[in-house]
């Protein structure tokens, strides 16, 4: 049982269904309990309205606002909003049964975390919040203005999802008519200047989102809008407190926190688009860095290769039969032979290196083989032709000396065979020349 005067004791059963397990906290106008659902065998959070108003008008307004919150949440369905199970009145007390969120609010998380949050994480939360604001602002027939976005009203669940809670001062915004008057609630450091005059719209939530991101990024409360506007207290840059924040994210935060609504983002979608561009650029940069890291390894290998090439050349010997086959197996190193000059050594090394190219050597070998095959038949045919020519010439010479020459000279004798051989020899020499 809670010690708070207005709290219900543990074990109390509401609506014959919800058993109070634990009192969580008490606010100015409400109590929070963890309850066990005996129907669904699940746990919920019950928010109870505290009626402390002596003025009946104020009490009525408080109840109407509480009822409005219940109706708003009951018709909404978004991943970043708690689900509403029930809304009821019992013993003149008003209760709202909501989804139990197992996590910490961002205010507690910021205060208990020593290091700064990673920018990627901050951008992820911002995009989630931008999405739920776009959803609320796009409700028909009237947009829903949250009007109390701050770290205390943001729950970070165990699955890293952001939940927007406490619709206590939410407003159905109708630009053509006055809606239900709500309590004038201002949260210093997070409320925009126009909220002091109760003239809020969707851009007011964007200011609060910017101020929340400022606090998450820097762990420093931003200067209140009143001090900035009336006392000219400047808003310091995020990077003055956290140098790891990029200029792009800082620019988005400061633009959202402009005092003049016209200078801010004009919609949650516009702000979310800017955040997604940073997120995309950051991921691309990570991939590039990983590639560059891999390239550095390649560059190192290239450097080693260049270093190796800069060393004195070593003669490489490969068997001719291996060169004929274009074999690319490991070669063995051979020291230059003694007695060879440096110039001759370089020339020899150059010749051997040229010969060590498998493809070139292979082509050259084929050409030589083909050439030999063509030359052999040609030489053989030439020899045959020469023999035939000699025989023919011998026959002609024999006939000339045996029969023709005696008639020309008037002699009937046969000329000496030596004369015939000498004649043929001279004839053959003349032809060959």
**Residue pair 231/241 in contact by the 8 Å Cβ criterion:** no
Q: What is the pLDDT of residue 431?
A: 62
Give the model's pLDDT for residue 289: 57
Between CA 78 and CA 330 the distance in angstroms is 67
115, 87: one domain: no
Rounded-to-integer distance, Cα 110 and Cα 221, Å:
11
Q: Is residue 175 part of a domain?
A: yes
- Structure tokens of 131? 């999405």
Indicate whether 110 and 156 sit together in one domain. yes
Q: Based on the domain organization, do 279 and 417 belong to the same domain?
A: no
Identify whether 290 is preceded by a cis peptide bond (ω within 30 of 0).
no
Do residue 171 and residue 271 come from a single domain? yes
Boundary of a domain, candidates 68, 99, 130: 99
Task: Say if residue 339 is in the same domain as residue 215.
Answer: no
| DSSP result, 93-144 | EEEEEEE---EEEHHHHHHH--SPPPHHHHHHHHHHHHHHHHHHHT-SSS-E
pLDDT score recorded for residue 295: 52
- pLDDT tens across the length of the chain (433 residues): 344 457 899 999 999 999 999 998 887 778 999 999 999 989 999 999 877 677 888 778 778 877 877 887 788 999 999 988 888 989 888 899 999 998 999 999 999 999 999 999 999 999 999 999 999 999 988 899 999 999 999 999 988 899 998 876 666 655 544 444 444 578 999 999 999 998 899 999 999 999 999 999 999 999 999 999 999 999 999 999 999 999 999 999 999 999 999 999 999 999 999 999 999 887 776 655 555 555 554 454 444 444 544 444 444 444 444 444 444 444 444 444 444 445 455 544 554 445 445 454 444 444 444 444 445 566 667 778 777 877 887 778 777 777 776 676 665 555 556 666 666 666 666 666 5
The C-alpha atoms of residue 79 and residue 161 are separated, in whole angstroms, by 8
Q: Which residues of 130-161 are buried (b: 16+ CB within 10 A; e: fewer)?
A: bbbbbbbbeeeeebbbbbbbbbbbbbbeeeee
Domain co-membership, 121 together with 231: yes
Is 365 among the domain residues? no
CA atoms of 192 and 119, how far apart (whole Å): 24
Length of the chain: 433
Please report the pLDDT score of residue 177 as a whole number.
Answer: 44
* Sheet-wide strand order for 93-99: 13-14, 18-26, 30-37, 42-49, 93-99, 84-90
What CATH number is given to the structural domain containing 59? 3.30.200.20
> Please, are residues 171 and 145 in contact by the beta-carbon 8 Å criterion?
yes
- 40 and 185 both lie in a single domain: no
Structure confidence at residue 56 (pLDDT): 82
Residues 272, 381 within the same domain: no
Burial class (CB in 10 A: 0-12, 13-18, 19+), 251: middle
Q: Are residue 157 and residue 208 in the same domain, yes or no?
A: yes
Residue 363 covered by a domain: no
Range of the domain at 327: 313-356
Same domain, 164 and 263: yes
User: For residues 413 and 214, what is the distance between their CA atoms, to the nearest angstrom?
Assistant: 139
pLDDT number for residue 428: 66
Q: Does a structural domain hold residue 301? A: no
- Which tokens hold the place of 410? 């008037």
Q: Is residue 302 part of a domain?
A: no
What's the structural domain count of the chain?
4
Q: State whether 34 and 91 are in the same domain.
A: yes
What local confidence, expressed as pLDDT, does residue 281 receive?
86
Could you tell me if 119 and 210 lie in one domain? Answer: yes
pLDDT recorded at residue 45: 93
CA distances from 56 to 61, 141, 224 (A): 9, 31, 33
296 is a domain residue: no
DSSP 403-429: IIHHHHHT--SPPPHHHHHHHHHHHHH
């Amino acid at each position: 049982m809670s010690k708070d005067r207005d709290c219900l004791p543990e074990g109390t059963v509401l609506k014959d269904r919800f058993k109070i397990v634990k009192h969580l906290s008490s606010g100015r106008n409400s109590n929070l309990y963890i309850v066990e659902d005996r129907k669904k065998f699940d746990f919920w959070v019950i928010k109870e309205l505290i009626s402390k108003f002596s003025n009946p008008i104020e009490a009525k307004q408080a109840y109407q606002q509480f009822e409005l919150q219940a109706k708003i949440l009951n018709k909404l369905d978004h991943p970043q909003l708690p689900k509403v199970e029930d809304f009821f009145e019992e013993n003149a007390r008003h209760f709202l049964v909501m989804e139990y969120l197992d996590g910490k609010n961002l205010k507690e998380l910021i205060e208990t975390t020593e290091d700064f949050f990673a920018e990627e994480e901050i951008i992820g939360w911002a995009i989630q919040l931008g999405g739920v604001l776009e959803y609320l602002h796009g409700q028909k027939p009237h947009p829903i203005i949250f009007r109390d976005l701050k770290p205390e009203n943001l729950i970070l669940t165990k699955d890293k999802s952001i939940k927007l809670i406490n619709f206590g001062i939410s407003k159905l915004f109708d630009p053509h008519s006055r809606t239900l008057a709500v309590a004038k609630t201002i949260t210093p450091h997070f409320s925009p200047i126009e909220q002091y005059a109760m003239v809020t719209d969707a851009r007011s939530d964007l200011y609060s989102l910017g101020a929340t991101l400022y606090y998450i990024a820097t762990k420093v409360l931003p200067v209140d809008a009143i001090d900035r506007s009336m006392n000219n207290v400047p808003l310091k840059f995020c990077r003055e407190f956290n140098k790891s924040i990029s200029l792009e994210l800082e620019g988005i935060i400061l633009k959202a926190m402009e005092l003049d609504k016209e200078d801010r983002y004009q919609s949650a979608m516009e702000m979310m688009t800017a955040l997604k561009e940073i997120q995309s650029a950051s991921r691309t940069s990570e991939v590039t860095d990983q590639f560059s890291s891999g390239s550095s390894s390649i560059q190192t290998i290239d450097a080693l290769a260049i270093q190796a090439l800069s060393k004195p050349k070593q003669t490489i010997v490969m068997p001719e039969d291996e060169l004929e086959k274009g074999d690319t197996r490991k070669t063995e190193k051979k020291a230059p032979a003694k007695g060879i000059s440096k110039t001759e050594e370089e020339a020899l090394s150059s010749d051997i290196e040229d010969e060590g190219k498998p493809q070139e050597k292979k082509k050259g070998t084929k050409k030589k083989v083909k050439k030999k095959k063509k030359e052999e038949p040609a030489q053989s045919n030439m020899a045959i032709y020469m023999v035939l020519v000699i025989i023919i010439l011998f026959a002609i010479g024999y006939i000339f000396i045996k029969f023709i020459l005696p008639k020309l000279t008037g002699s009937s004798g046969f000329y000496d065979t030596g004369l015939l051989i000498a004649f043929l020899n001279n004839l053959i020499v003349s032809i060959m020349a």
